């Protein structure tokens, strides 16, 4: 009987691991398909993917740098000058191919004569390229500028050609003291006579340098090792160039390969090989639509109100059956976070709707912690077992670092402190709220620990390496909690293990440790 149980548990863990990897691959492929289809449709219509509608999160760090008074009000950014230059950065999700999008439209208006400059870094750790100052247009008139036709200075202050790429893009303004700047957004457009992509042609996978007929849209195969500078000249039969991302390796390596392609060839549109035909079919459908479809704001609020109402009802009038109640409470506590993460809705941008969703989940989860059947501090045994998990993580991290080499990532002490608080919140949700209720629902400590760990792993979708790491850690922490009912040892173990892995593990293991939509940014 024991052998059967061990075999069943092993099979379940193997299937779960495979399922988590497949989920990560499916989501990554879907993201690539959607992004490639959108860019293909925009290239066919002559529109641009590089635009910044006003939003606090479209501004780097959400603030203005310099001696000025800034306020985010309504649908615009208002900056009152103190007579000194000030600037803000436009958020980039990857390297921007300035050479292919050289026309700037700045929806920036001043109540007095004002000048602006464009500040660019080709690399985040490189020097600044600065454009010559140019005047802003009049009130309510957007400023249009061909950035390849104005003077530029390189990081040494010498006259230079315009930068062809941008890893950082800032707008710098000079206004008289007391003058006010209103910023509503910006866009970088293609050249006026840019050729549009013809999506009626048949897309075909070809090798770099292979001749193609005029009625074929070449999609170039990329080797697993990436694209080097010598290959760039071979992708000449399509504008923009379209590349096919191989998907034979783990998701983290595919993500690193995608970064390598964008770094070497910023203008490329990257199509996932596992969704090759689906990508072009979606692009053709999108190019036929008048515009993008958005979920009405009122619908989002109605769904949130419904979710909040269900949470309230489950607390005011819970089911009398203990197992049903436990299942319902664990499911509802995870439903909001899982929708946010697994659904790919978390981008790092926190709006009012998301603040209310987080508040609903936080209040509900906090209410489930009482009456308390758990404690903050633990026994010596609890701390010892928690430290053993850290030791195991450290052993794995050190072995990985020795095997792969590379620098050790330095982590700021303030980040460590913040992460401990975040680990405490996660352990409360996964262990105090969920694992304890899965125990009541299943009457099995082992299966309760498994369900708690599975929920924890899913909250790190679609980062496959991070999902597997949190699943393994979750099994340990949930089992430890069900044994000791102590929270602080788990938070310490979680935070210490995570910091060690992030510092030592190679990027191909956890990538950036981001989750949901942030994994793709």
Shared-domain flag, residues 383 and 484: yes
Shared-domain flag, residues 224 and 315: no
Domain CATH code at residue 178: 2.60.120.260
Contact predicate 135/114, CB 8 Å: yes
Shared-domain flag, residues 63 and 172: yes
Query: Which positions ≥6 away from 380 have C-beta within 8 Å?
Result: none
CB count in 10 Å sphere of residue 373: 9
- pLDDT by residue for the chain (521 residues), tens digit each? 777 788 887 888 889 999 999 998 999 899 899 999 999 999 988 889 898 876 656 777 778 888 888 888 767 888 899 989 999 888 888 889 998 899 998 888 888 889 999 999 998 888 999 999 989 887 777 888 888 889 999 898 898 888 989 999 999 999 999 888 888 889 999 988 888 888 888 888 888 777 777 778 888 888 876 665 555 555 555 568 889 998 888 888 888 888 888 888 888 899 999 999 999 999 999 888 755 555 566 888 898 899 999 999 999 999 999 999 999 999 999 999 998 888 877 766 677 888 898 899 999 999 998 888 889 998 999 899 999 999 998 888 888 878 776 777 777 788 888 889 889 999 999 999 999 999 999 999 999 999 999 999 999 888 888 889 899 999 999 999 999 999 999 999 999 998 888 888 777 666 666 655 566 66
Q: Which of 224, 253, 288 is the last residue of a domain?
A: 288
What total number of domains does the chain contain?
3
Q: Which of 256, 288, 320 is the last residue of a domain?
A: 288
pLDDT value at residue 515: 57
User: CA angle at residue 160 from 159 to 165, to 5 degrees?
Assistant: 145
Q: Which of 288, 309, 326 is the last residue of a domain?
A: 288
Judged by DSSP in three states, 235 sits in: coil
Q: What is the DSSP string of 274-309?
A: GGHHHHHHHHHHHHHSSS-----HHHHHHHHHHHHH
pLDDT value at residue 346: 73
2: in domain: no
pLDDT value at residue 510: 66
Shared-domain flag, residues 178 and 88: yes
20: in domain: no
User: DSSP label at 234?
Assistant: T
Helix/strand number for the chain, H first, E second: 14, 16
Shared-domain flag, residues 403 and 357: yes
Question: Global pTM?
Answer: 0.84
User: DSSP label at 409?
Assistant: P
Angstrom distances, CA of residue 433 to CA of 8, 225, 227: 27, 45, 47
pLDDT value at residue 487: 93
Tokens (6 digits) for 9: 């548990």
Q: What is the distance, to the nearest Å, from the Cα of residue 162 to the centroid of all Cα atoms in its chain?
A: 30
pLDDT value at residue 218: 85
326: in domain: yes
pLDDT value at residue 266: 87
Alpha-carbon distance of 253 to 24, in angstroms, equals 12
12: in domain: no
Shared-domain flag, residues 207 and 168: no
pLDDT value at residue 225: 67
Q: Which structural domain, as residue segments, surrounds residue 175?
A: 52-189
User: 131 has which bridge partners?
Assistant: 152
Shared-domain flag, residues 154 and 139: yes
Shared-domain flag, residues 377 and 513: yes
Shared-domain flag, residues 108 and 34: no
Shared-domain flag, residues 269 and 202: yes
Shared-domain flag, residues 201 and 234: yes
Shared-domain flag, residues 260 and 310: no
249: in domain: yes
pLDDT value at residue 195: 84
173: in domain: yes
């Amino acid at each position: 009987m024991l052998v059967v149980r061990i075999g069943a548990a092993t099979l379940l863990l193997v299937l779960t691991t495979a399922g988590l990897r497949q989920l990560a691959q499916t989501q990554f492929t879907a993201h690539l398909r959607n992004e490639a289809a959108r860019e293909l449709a925009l290239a066919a219509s002559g529109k641009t993917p590089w635009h910044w509608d006003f939003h606090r999160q479209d501004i780097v760090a959400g603030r203005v740098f310099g001696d000025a008074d800034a306020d985010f009000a309504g649908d615009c950014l208002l900056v009152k000058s103190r007579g000194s230059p000030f600037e803000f950065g436009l958020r980039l999700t990857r390297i921007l191919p300035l050479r292919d999008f050289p026309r700037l439209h700045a929806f920036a208006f001043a109540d007095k004569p004002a000048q602006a400059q464009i500040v660019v870094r080709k690399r985040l750790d490189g020097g600044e390229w600065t454009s010559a100052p140019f005047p802003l247009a009049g009130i309510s008139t957007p400023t249009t500028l061909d950035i390849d036709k104005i003077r530029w200075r390189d990081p040494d202050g010498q006259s230079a050609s315009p930068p062809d790429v941008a890893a950082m893009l800032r707008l710098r303004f000079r206004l008289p003291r007391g003058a006010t700047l209103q910023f509503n957004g910006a866009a970088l457009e293609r050249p006026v006579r840019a050729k549009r992509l013809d999506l009626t042609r048949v897309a075909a996978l070809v090798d770099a340098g292979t001749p193609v007929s005029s009625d074929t849209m070449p999609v170039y195969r990329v080797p697993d090792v990436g694209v080097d500078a010598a290959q760039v000249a071979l992708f000449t039969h399509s504008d923009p160039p379209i590349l096919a991302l191989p998907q034979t390796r783990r998701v983290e390596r595919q993500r690193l390969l995608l970064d390598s392609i964008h770094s070497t060839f910023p203008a490329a549109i990257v199509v996932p090989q596992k969704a090759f035909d689906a990508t072009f079919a979606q692009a053709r459908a999108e190019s036929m639509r008048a515009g993008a479809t958005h979920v009405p704001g009122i619908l989002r609020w109605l769904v949130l109100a419904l979710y909040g109402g269900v949470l309230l009802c489950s607390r005011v009038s819970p089911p009398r059956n203990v197992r049903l109640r436990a299942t319902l409470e664990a499911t509802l506590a995870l439903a909001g976070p899982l929708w946010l993460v697994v659904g790919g809705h978390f981008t790092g941008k926190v709006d009012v709707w998301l603040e209310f969703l987080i508040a609903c989940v936080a209040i509900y989860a906090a209410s489930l912690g009482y009456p308390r059947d758990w404690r903050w501090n633990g026994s010596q045994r609890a701390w010892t077992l928690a430290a053993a998990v850290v030791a195991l993580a450290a052993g794995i991290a050190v072995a990985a670092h020795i095997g792969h080499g590379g620098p050790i990532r330095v982590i700021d002490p303030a980040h460590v402190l913040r992460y401990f608080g975040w680990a405490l919140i996660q352990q409360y949700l996964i262990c105090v709220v969920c694992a304890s209720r899965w125990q009541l629902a299943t009457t099995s400590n082992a299966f309760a620990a498994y369900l708690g760990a599975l929920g924890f792993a899913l909250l790190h979708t679609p980062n496959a390496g991070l999902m597997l790491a949190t699943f393994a850690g979750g099994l340990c922490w949930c089992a430890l909690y069900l044994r000791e009912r102590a929270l602080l040892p788990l938070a310490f173990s979680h935070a210490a293990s995570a910091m060690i892995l992030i510092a030592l593990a190679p990027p191909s293991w956890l990538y950036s440790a981001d989750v949901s939509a942030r994994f793709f940014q």
